[in-house]
Structure 1
């Protein structure tokens, strides 16, 4: 059966009763969205403040490939397995974006028998969080243009507006546009553009905010542009926009509760991409789960060089979260792809390609253990085409690296297939104090922070940028010097070339643009040819998604 067919046969329990049964949360603290989704009130979240935190486990992966790795699937499978062996566990996931759902990547609800449900709802509109983020973002854009049309009392320079518009869809035609055509009644003409919602600073702010007051204050700090001198910033608070924006997000800030196929609770909240944003679910969701459960399994987007680094250097640094261990997900197929094998040949045994591709896993593992300071278990997400010889070779290579390696069959068997992984993780996290090390010191210059990530994690020889970009970073360092950096880079490679597989070394990382996300509290560095508005592929997934007269959806994956 396909993932969606498995999900549609799930024996879901009403979420209100399930949350009461598992965690003793009364219905008055929940806002139900139908029978199987609910938001948890912030008042209840705040009531948990004095409770002891559980152990936080991060799931990350090798560099992504078209062969698939299964990070979300592993997160769900591990969470189900922890509950199966008698542990009290919750999974914290990101919300899927419609861009990948209708594009090429698909949804983000797991797969096989390790899924969160209702799968169709989660992958489509869910509880409306992304809609609220998009509207709040675009309200600010509308207020900027209206302010200039109405006399521009703040002296905003139309050439220096930093705030684009957003839409939750892959639409390359919107990357660069002209607005205000049609005469004086339609405002003024200027260049503009769209990013995808997951790249919005409002998304980043929602994911890092700790309360409604913090949310509103962060929204007010957004720099929308500059005056004609090019130095004096204009803030969202100058436009009196942050109150209305926060009002639009009043429900979006509440964590969303759903369940797995095995009726275990998962919190799905927030969803920035890790290749163009910071790639983690909300701080609120993670901290809430840590108060409710003894073990919390969370994921960070794409490979450990992107999502995991930002989880450590941005999310943990800002929130005080302290992970206990990392699961590094890999597949035999993906490693063979990194070894140079074409996608159509990955189901054939190829030990030399597997050995060559192992260098990608090795660098990620060493980054996690040496630069993040965390113990790491390698999880081989099992595919039916994997041969015993390939699995033996992979386990042998991991052993020589000093890595614990577990072959897990959660995709086919659910939580039962991941019990060995769960026991391995429990043994590690119960025997050490939680905590990690950051990749760079916050007192370094922004340039040096970027260079440290590139050389330490990516294996680069250094970074380059224009004099204009260097000057901009120096200027920002005067006021925002302690901000972490968020590198927007292809997820497919340690380099900025998506076709460079394995573990390249000695390459140069070119920084083509920098953006100040003052509300979120970090500086974005765009490395290489990176788009913050993706495009659809030649054959988008949308062509295969359909619905019948009974409302049954097909083709979603």
Structure 2
């Protein structure tokens, strides 16, 4: 890898005007959104990177996105990445950092993974300001008549803390507020994060903040954030966070890293502004959608592309031999051992994701992220599976070799892009909400049907009454299975998805559908990665 160059030189590669660059030291800068008002300097071909159903550790989707971008650059193409920011929850919990790995990384990795430019903190503060104002309004007379039992706005923090999922606020006497039940979600699952990532400009950001549904009155009428007269202050807290962050890969390829909604409990895509800016300034914009295609990519198409008029020219499906062996029944502690039989059974998971990509009228490119433990026989099995389905398959070694290890993938992407067809949404927005949910569960997950709990049925009736039935749906689901049951691997069949609740994210512009046992505040594992992180003798951060 090359020594990171000054961020101003990275901006020059994208022809970003010097007045639009807002430096955060030598290697990081924000790019003012007014850059989008200047003439475009790129052709703006968008490439989406998604994946098959991953193991709990992930299959290297970000690493592959970075490797692909570096390979395109090595082939003489103008390219820019548009990726999500890292959340402290997984960084200090199970998955670790979100800046790639080996020779396909973003730099400076430690700063990006920890506090970066403060966007997550700004989202957290804006969210919790609204929480504080709601309780303050109730305490000082409650002129809006908010029913404390029906406050739906929750506090957030950027950390995995299961103890805060359900709490009681206002304890301690009359001077401490009105006691009521509440709770915390992780910042990446907050509606403010979704709003920041879907806003097209400052005015759109203000409109979306105004439209946040926070509570209901004693009479059942909705209460929106604008009625509490605090969205101007929320906007002020977010006024710097709206500008995308510019960094570089280890090979000096520009990367816009901005926003961070999780795909299992949110919509899983980096900000719209970062995506548009990458397309505005480069011929190729490489972005990703979190977890498997069934989660992040479905939402990328049905929510982000539909709202913003985007249409990727190619879709990459990242997979690994170890993940496919897991889906074929191999134990988690034996995924590094050769097991062609388990791999052959697990190919059904890859097969289903290929079908799902084609459901959106796209032709996938499979990127097999190679590990040292993969045998030639196992790699040949994956290639044969793709050949039988007339899908390009590139074996990638970008972790070890950087961009040169993803050139086969880059060429396959360029070939597929020449035959691109317009994407087709999965469902009609005017369809009943129950039908939209059923279409996703049946066609993308492979479920037989959907069961709605009584709470979900009440939620659906209420949102119809309030006029929100025409919004797209954002399903919160287990990320390690195509079903809502994380124990079901491979390509599950003969199962039913249980919808336990439906929430309105009126500001973000979608409905959140909670399935199975999915939680919007993760917990830490028994041995969190935070136990390995420290400061070294030279002052550098170790273990991240």
TM-score normalized with structure 1 length: 0.96
Partner of 2:172: 182
Indicate which of 393, 405, 416 corresponds to 2:393: 405
Report whether the alignment pairs 1:286 with 2:275.
Answer: yes
Q: 2:368 aligned to 380, 386, 405, which one?
A: 380
Indicate the residue corresponding to 2:237 in structure 1.
Answer: 248
The structure-2 alpha-carbon separation of the partners of 1:250 and 1:157, relative to structure 1 and needing over 3 Å to count, comes to same
2:484 corresponds in structure 1 to 496
**SS of 1:76 mapped into structure 2:** helix
Q: Secondary structure at the match of 2:129?
A: helix
Aligned partner of 1:28 among 19, 40, 43: 19
Q: Give the Cα–Cα distance (whole angstroms) in 1 for the partners of residues 495 and 377 of structure 2.
A: 34
**1:143-542 to 2 correspondences below 5 Å:** 143-230=133-220, 232-369=221-358, 371-433=359-421, 435-478=422-465, 479-542=467-530
Q: What 5-or-longer segments of structure 2 have no aligned partner? A: none
Give me the whole-angstrom Cα distance separating, in 2, the residues matched to 1:426 and 1:541: 38
- 1 CA distance for matches of 2:106 and 2:459? 43
Work out the CA distance in 2 between the residues paired with 1:164 and 1:471: 20
| CA drift at 1:333 | 1.1
Contact preservation (8 Å) 2:147, 2:218 = yes
Q: What is the rounded CA distance, in whole Å, between the counterparts of 2:7 and 2:392 in structure 1? A: 36
Please say if 1:141 is aligned against 2:127. Answer: no
Superposition TM-score, scaled by structure 2 size: 0.98
State the alpha-carbon separation in 2 of the partners of residues 66 and 97 from structure 1: 16
Quick one: distance in 2 between partners of 1:252 and 1:430? 36
Change (3 A) 1:549 1:409: closer
The match for 1:6 is none
CA contact (8 A) 1:216 1:242 kept: yes
| 1:493 positional shift | 0.3
Distance 2:115 2:42 in 1: 34
The equivalent position to 1:546 in structure 2, one of 528, 534, 537, is 534
Q: Which moved more, 1:474-483 or 1:530-539?
A: 474-483
> Structure 1 runs of 4+ off > 3 angstroms?
50-53
- Secondary structure of 1:252's partner? coil
The whole-number CA distance in structure 1 between the counterparts of 2:8 and 2:79 is 18
Secondary structure in structure 2 of the residue aligned to 1:121: helix
Distance 1:204 1:506 in 2: 33
- Distance of 1:325 and 1:93 partners within structure 2: 16
TM-fit CA distance, 1:451: 0.6
Give distance in 2, aligned partners of 1:404 and 1:44: 36
Q: Give yes or no for contact 1:15–1:258 (8 Å, CA) kept in 2.
A: yes
Distance 1:178 1:471 in 2: 24
Pairing partner for 1:46 from 37, 40, 56: 37
C-alpha distance in structure 2 between counterparts of 1:554 and 1:516, whole Å:
41
- For 1:485 and 1:506, how far apart are their aligned partners in 2? 23
Whether the 8 Å contact between 2:21 and 2:32 is mirrored in structure 1 is yes
| Distance of aligned partners of 1:117 and 1:485 in 2 relative to their CA distance in 1, 3 Å threshold | same
Does the 8 Å CA contact 1:51/1:291 hold for their aligned counterparts? yes
Does the 8 A contact of 2:2 with 2:252 survive in 1? no
Shift of 1:43: 1.6
What whole-Å deviation, never above 9, does each CA across 1:65-94 have from its counterpart, x for those lacking one? Answer: 146411000000000000100110111100
Give the whole-Å Cα distance in 1 for the aligned partners of 2:386 and 2:183. 46
Distance 1:319 1:105 in 2: 30
CA distance in 2, matches of 1:129, 1:60: 24
Q: Does 1:19 align with 2:3?
A: no
Tell me the secondary structure at the aligned position of residue 24 of structure 1. coil
Q: Which moved more, 1:381-390 or 1:266-275?
A: 381-390
Q: Which residue of 2 aligns with 1:5?
A: none
Cα-to-partner distance string for 1:400-435 (whole Å, 9 max, x where unaligned)? 1221111011111000010111011111113435x2
Contact 2:455 2:501 in 1 (8 A): no
Residue 45 (structure 1) shift? 2.3
Q: How far apart, CA to CA, are the structure 2 residues paired with 1:311 and 1:293?
A: 20
The whole-number CA distance in structure 2 between the counterparts of 1:10 and 1:188 is: 57
Moved more, 122-131 or 399-408: 399-408
Aligned counterparts of 1:472 and 1:26: Cα–Cα separation in 2: 48
Shift of 1:52: 6.4
Q: Is the CA contact 2:471–2:511 (under 8 Å) kept in the aligned structure 1?
A: yes
After superposition, the C-alpha distances for 1:4-32 in whole angstroms (9 at most, x for unaligned) are: xxxxx851001012212x12324321111
How far the C-alpha of 1:397 sits from its partner, in A, is: 1.3
Does the aligned pair in 2 maintain the 1:458–1:505 contact within 8 Å?
no
